[in-house]
Structure 1
Amino acid sequence: MRTIVFFQRTLVTFLFVCMISFMSCTSHQIEKKQINVVFRLDDYSACSNTDLELRIIDAFRMNEACITLGVIPYVCANDIHDPSGQELIPLTSMKGNILKSGLNEGVIDVALHGYSHQTISTGQWTEFSGLDYDNQVERLTKGKQLLESLIDAPVTTFVPPWNRFDLNTLRALEELGFSTLSAGKKIRGVTEECKLNILPYTCNLSGLRDAIEASQTSSDTQPVIVVLFHEYDFQEIDGKRGRITYQKFYELMKWLKSQRDVRLLSISQATQVINDLMSAK
């Protein structure tokens, strides 16, 4: 009888230890999973809405996060969809100082967003795809030089207008020392020889929560979600196209920050995480 009781107690103890070990292992696996969320705000320029941009930057500052701004160095004065000759307006020192200050503070990650963001074609809106290599190099060089002179730091991330690029773009980017390309969801024309980090956008603001839910059930332990948005996504700027108010955006940021499995990163930070994971394999 004593032997049976002893066996039962031993069995219970063994099962309890196994359960604790399993829970510890499972907990470790859950904690190891990290959903990396990157925000990419395009079309920062001499003509973009500075007041809204400052509020957005402040939202990231208050949540101790970094946002990537796609900056147009020489924005065309009128219609970006009109390929005819237009005046170009260079980024002002005031807008440059905002970038420089935010960069030094760690709240802004600066990316080059084209040259003028003016289409070269009426058939398909594109600034770079379809343009010859020398002209692409010239535009990238001029845009990069202006931006770097204003922020006093290297710019190594490129965001093509309308997310369109071609092989000449890739060649030019590598030639000029860029390290990262962030374009659209469908990446075409990137060969195995390409040395650039490729980090496409994956959703807009309205699709972010669904993207996070999908990532939480995926097998990927380090999924990356790149959220693309513009100033016209805010109702305060565009009553017709706007889908969110600044207050709702700020509440979304607070919610993201409160999620234990979500990490807010810039494009540069996310590519570093990905490269570190690749190196560890």
Structure 2
Amino acid sequence: MTSQHNSRTGQCMRLARLSWQRCLALVLVLLPLACRVPARAASASRARRITVIFRFDDYAGSGSSIGDELLTVFQKRNIPCTYGVIPYVSETFTDDPANCAAIDPGTAGRLTAAARTGLVEVAMHGFAHRDNAMAPKSPGSESEFRGLGYSSQLRMLSAGRAALESLYHVRVTTFIPPWNSYDENTLRALEDIGFEMVSGSGQTHGIADSGGFKKLRFLPYTCTPGHLREAVDFARISSDPDPIIVVLLHAFNFFESDRDRGQFTYQTFGDLLSWLAAQPDVAAQTLSGAARTTRDLGYRRLRTFSARRGLRRGNEPPFFTAQNAEFFFYHSTPPRVRNAHR
């Protein structure tokens, strides 16, 4: 009886030991898997810096008063912003500055001090922000530049930049196309007169990469302010070596301007900026600042990003959803693509 008892006890102990060993082995297998994402996020956070850029469109048009109020919000937190300024005023489309009125100096002047300190970048947001009749029309296909000849576009771009530089006494190097729409003639003209940065929507508009546009840099907007926190979170857990978030702002994003479409008050947007300023792995820049400090901003990165996002999201933003949150930041060119073209 005693020997049987001892035998059973030994079997139980062996089974318990075996079960314990199996459990330990299972834990050792699963633990790295469970920790992989947090560990990767932590190491990525230590090794990389997430760049965030704010782009405010339509200043001197419908967004001038909101833009003035926002300037104070940005200044209080020492966060820079690129303002897309419309240099001319016209009721209808024209490519001739003689047919336009200049931007109101009083409105324009409210940005002057901030522009000179570098807190605000003055970017050229079109000519007069009027739709031309040359581009094929469909819903959402408005364009001020696409479809125009090279000489017309060159005249508009040269005159618009000269007007802004005369007003602000700063160099204007960034172009934000109205409705994020442009064509190859636009890029040729921009490069020929010394622009450095183009910020659209991420679409390539069917322009082939023919080896040109060596001087231009491209940084599309990637999200709206309501998705900024998500964008930072996804950038953190990604393995991307150079994540860039470009936040697109319009006057209608704010309740003070549009009660129906507004998502933020000045106060709640200021709270968002305060949160951003407290993130140790985030650096805010302007579009031109990124052009100077980031190497991988060529047309190939834009084309690769557009192709990847197009497979998942389809056409033009701005209807962002959580399913597409991985595209809330601008992806780097994959190394295999970048290295193959060196």
TM over 0.5: yes
Using the TM superposition, give the Cα deviation of residue 190 of structure 1 relative to its aligned residue in structure 2, in angstroms. Answer: 5.5
For 1:142-157, what aligned pairs fall within 5 Å after superposition?
142-157=159-174
- Of 22, 44, 47, 1:32 maps to 47
Q: Give per-residue Cα distances to partners, 1:207-233, cap 9 Å, x unaligned.
A: 211111110111123310001110111
**Equivalent pair of 1:130/1:166 in contact (CA under 8 Å):** yes
Identify if the C-alpha distance between structure 1 residues 130 and 94 changes in structure 2 by more than 3 Å, giving closer, same or farther. Answer: same
Match of 2:146 among 129, 132, 138: 129
Greater CA drift, 161-170 or 215-224: 215-224
Task: Check if 1:262 corresponds to 2:282.
Answer: yes
Q: Give the alignment of 1:1-281 within 5 angstroms.
A: 30-45=45-60, 47-77=61-91, 88-121=100-133, 123=138, 124-188=141-205, 189=207, 191=209, 192-195=211-214, 196-275=216-295
Distance 2:88 2:208 in 1: 27
**Which structure has the greater CA radius of gyration?**
2
Cα 1:238/1:54, change in 2 over 3 Å: same
1:55-110 deviations in Å (ceiling 9; x for gaps)? 21112211112100001001334xxxx7599x744212222322321111221011
What is the CA–CA distance in structure 2 between the aligned matches of 1:28 and 1:184, rounded to whole Å? 30
Report deviation, 1:266.
0.8
TM-score of the two chains, using structure 1 as the length reference: 0.81
Superposition deviation, residue 131 in structure 1: 0.9
Question: In structure 1, how many angstroms separate the alpha carbons of the residues matched to 2:46 and 2:296?
Answer: 18
- 2: CA distance, partners of 1:29 / 1:225: 16
- Tell me the distance in 1 between the aligned counterparts of 2:63 and 2:219: 26
Question: Which one is further off, 117-126 or 160-169?
Answer: 117-126
Contact 2:218 2:297 in 1 (8 A): no
Structure 2 residue identity aligned to 1:177: G
Runs in 1 of length 4+ with deviation above 3 angstroms?
Answer: 26-30, 47-51, 82-85
Measure the CA separation in 2 of the matches of 1:29 and 1:231: 35
**TM-score, normalised by the number of residues in structure 2:** 0.67
| Cα distance in structure 2, aligned partners of 1:51 and 1:219 | 40
In structure 1, C-alpha distance between the alignment counterparts of 2:163 and 2:258, rounded to whole Å: 29
How far apart are 1:48 and its partner, in Å? Answer: 3.5
**Which AA in structure 1 matches 2:90?**
C
- The 3 A distance-change label for structure 1 pair 255 and 190 is farther
Separation (CA, whole Å) in 1 of partners of 2:173 and 2:162: 11
Per-residue deviation at 1:165? 0.5
Tell me: CA distance 1:190–1:260, structure 2 relative to 1, closer, same or farther (3 Å): farther
**Displacement of 1:203:** 0.8
Report the AA paired with residue 147 of structure 2: G
Task: For residues 123-170 of structure 1, give each alpha carbon's deviation from its aligned partner in whole angstroms, at most 9, with x where no partner exists.
Answer: 431000111111111111111111010011221110000000100001
The one-character-per-residue Cα deviations of 1:168-190 (angstroms, maximum 9, x if unpaired) are 00110011110111111223415
Superposed displacement of residue 29, structure 1: 5.6
- Local SS of the residue matching 1:275: coil
When residues 277 and 75 of structure 1 are mapped into structure 2, their CA distance, relative to the original with a 3 A threshold, is closer
Q: Distance in 1 between matches of 2:271 and 2:85?
A: 25
In structure 2, relative to structure 1, the CA distance for the partners of 1:277 and 1:116 (3 Å cut) is closer
1:28 Cα deviation after fit: 7.3
The equivalent residue for 2:332 is none
Amino acid at match of 1:106: G
Give me the CA root mean square deviation: 2.4
* Distance in 1 between residues matched to 2:44 and 2:203, nearest whole Å: 31
C-alpha contact (below 8 Å) 1:187/1:200 kept by paired residues: no
Q: Is the contact between residue 57 and residue 107 of structure 1 (CA under 8 Å) also seen in structure 2?
A: no
Q: Which runs of 5+ in 2 are unaligned?
A: 1-40, 299-341
8 Å Cα contact 1:72-1:114 kept in structure 2? yes
